[in-house]
């Protein structure tokens, strides 16, 4: 049994968390769940976004599966996700996405986005200036080096052929310029892996035109965030794409998507993105075989469009797709 902290989160979080726990149990995962609260629900019930006991649980058990949390737009508290990533120095945000035959808009997509998770505009330093505001973009040599090295190591250990760095160093000559300088330095240590660089706007067009040409992408925080949603769209939407926040000691697994308030409580949320995140967690805790079994079932269900939810063009519900995945394990 492995101890894992479980945060169901806000919006659709509780619905998809219930589905994921059910499927993992049916697949035979050996997990002792430790449920704690986080996000808006925690704030309303306990007066804190990340209660002290939730922090203690993460520090103690080191692995968490997290549902999405709501962050008010343009006002209110600082994003819980950003706070967690900074508190545990979860500097890698890993977001793999691949096509499903007959379901994805684009076939032959198999891209892993490695997003820097602790720097860039997400440090949230905004200042009032005359007539408006300015926001600080932080890019450091240390922060760039560790994420770029992670991307190359990932490529090496997963048999990947190419790493593409995303940047805007034609405009941001110092900050993104540093990212690219570090990329060139690290890339030279991996002569068997092709090193490629793309300016972020061109990258968006390239991904839509020729997604099959891309393999591992490495990007500063903001570009990585945007690009990974774009790639989610190529393979079937936010309901399918998983993610992992990884640091030296702690790992928090969560879907790319948010709390989807527009469909919360309707029973139609797609649990697959969170389920695929749970599969990444199973790899991480040495139960990868259970993860593979679940991934194979997901593929069967999606490629045969069995009970798929409305985000994938179906009429299924969270409950019916959960049952279909369990039946096909
Ligand atoms: N990791 C996180 O916790 C996280 C990530 C992104 C956004 N957020 C937060 O979520 C809230 C809502 O943000 P948003 O609306 O921009 O993004 P969102 O990802 O919640 O939703 C975008 C669109 O995708 C759909 N969608 C998302 N997940 C789905 C799923 N599993 N099944 C079916 N459809 C799904 C939604 O219905 C919506 O139409 C905000 O408060 C935002 O800050 C949290």
Please report the domains of the chain, with CATH numbers, ordered by start residue: 1-96+239-329 (3.40.718.10), 105-235 (3.40.718.10)
Instruction: For residue 154, indicate whether it is catalytic.
Output: no
pLDDT score at 124 = 86
Residue with tokens 């991904």: 207
pLDDT score at 79 = 82
pLDDT score at 197 = 98
Instruction: For residue 215, indicate whether it is catalytic.
Output: no
Which of 238, 269, 275 has most ligand 1 atoms within 8 Å of its beta carbon, as the pocket-test mutant? Answer: 238
The closest-lying atom of ligand 1 relative to the alpha carbon of residue 263 is 37
Instruction: For residue 168, indicate whether it is catalytic.
Output: yes
pLDDT score at 154 = 97
pLDDT score at 77 = 63
Task: Report CA(258)–ligand 1 centroid distance (Å).
Answer: 3
Task: Report CA(180)–ligand 1 centroid distance (Å).
Answer: 31
pLDDT score at 6 = 98
Helix %, strand %, coil % of the chain (to 5): 45, 20, 40
**Count of beta carbons in the 10 Å neighbourhood of residue 247:** 17
pTM: 0.94
The closest-lying atom of ligand 1 relative to the alpha carbon of residue 67 is 3
Q: Is the CB of 244 under 6 A from ligand 1?
A: no
* Enclosing H/E stretch for 4: strand 2-7
Tell whether the torsion through CA atoms of 313, 319, 322 and 326 is positive or negative.
Answer: negative
Spatial neighbors of 211 by CB under 8 A, at least 6 apart, are 106, 108, 109, 111, 231, 234
pLDDT score at 73 = 64
pLDDT score at 47 = 86
pLDDT score at 102 = 86
How many alpha carbons fall within 13 Å on the CB side of residue 125? 7
Cα 243 to Cα 114: distance, rounded to the nearest angstrom: 10
Task: Report residues of the chain scoring pLDDT below 70.
Answer: 72-77
Which of 68, 124, 232 has most ligand 1 atoms within 8 Å of its beta carbon, as the pocket-test mutant? Answer: 68
- N- to C-terminal Cα distance for the chain? 21
């Amino acid at each position: 049994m492995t101890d894992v902290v479980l945060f169901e989160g806000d919006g659709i979080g509780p619905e998809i968390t219930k589905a994921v726990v059910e499927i993992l149990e049916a697949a035979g995962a050996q997990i002792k769940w430790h449920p704690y609260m986080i996000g808006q629900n925690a704030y309303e019930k306990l007066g804190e976004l990340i209660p002290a006991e939730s922090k203690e649980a993460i520090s103690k058990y080191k692995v968490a599966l997290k549902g999405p949390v709501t962050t008010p737009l343009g006002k209110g508290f600082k994003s819980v996700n950003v706070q967690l990533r900074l508190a545990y120095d979860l500097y890698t945000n890993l977001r793999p996405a691949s096509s499903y035959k007959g379901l994805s808009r684009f076939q032959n997509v198999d891209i892993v986005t490695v997003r820097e998770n602790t720097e860039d505009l997400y440090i949230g330093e905004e200042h009032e200036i005359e007539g408006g505001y300015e926001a600080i973009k932080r890019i450091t040599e240390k922060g760039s080096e560790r994420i770029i090295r992670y991307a190359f190591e990932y490529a090496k250990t997963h048999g990947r052929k190419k790493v593409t760095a995303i940047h805007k160093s034609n405009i941001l000559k110092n900050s993104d310029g540093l990212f690219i300088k570090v990329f060139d330095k690290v890339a030279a240590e991996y002569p068997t892996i092709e090193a490629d660089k793309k300016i972020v706007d061109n990258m968006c067009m390239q991904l839509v035109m020729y997604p099959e040409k891309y393999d591992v992408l490495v990007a500063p925080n903001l570009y990585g965030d945007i690009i990974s949603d774009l790639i989610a769209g190529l393979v079937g939407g936010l309901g399918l794409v998983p993610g992992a926040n990884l640091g030296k000691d702690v790992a928090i697994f969560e879907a790319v998507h948010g709390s989807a308030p527009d469909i919360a409580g309707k029973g139609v949320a797609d649990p697959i993105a969170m389920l695929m995140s749970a599969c990444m967690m199973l790899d991480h805790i040495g139960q990868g075989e259970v993860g593979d079994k679940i991934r194979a079932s997901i593929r069967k269900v999606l490629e045969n469009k069995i009970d798929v939810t409305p985000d994938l063009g179906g009429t299924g519900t969270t409950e019916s797709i959960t049952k279909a995945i369990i039946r096909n394990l």
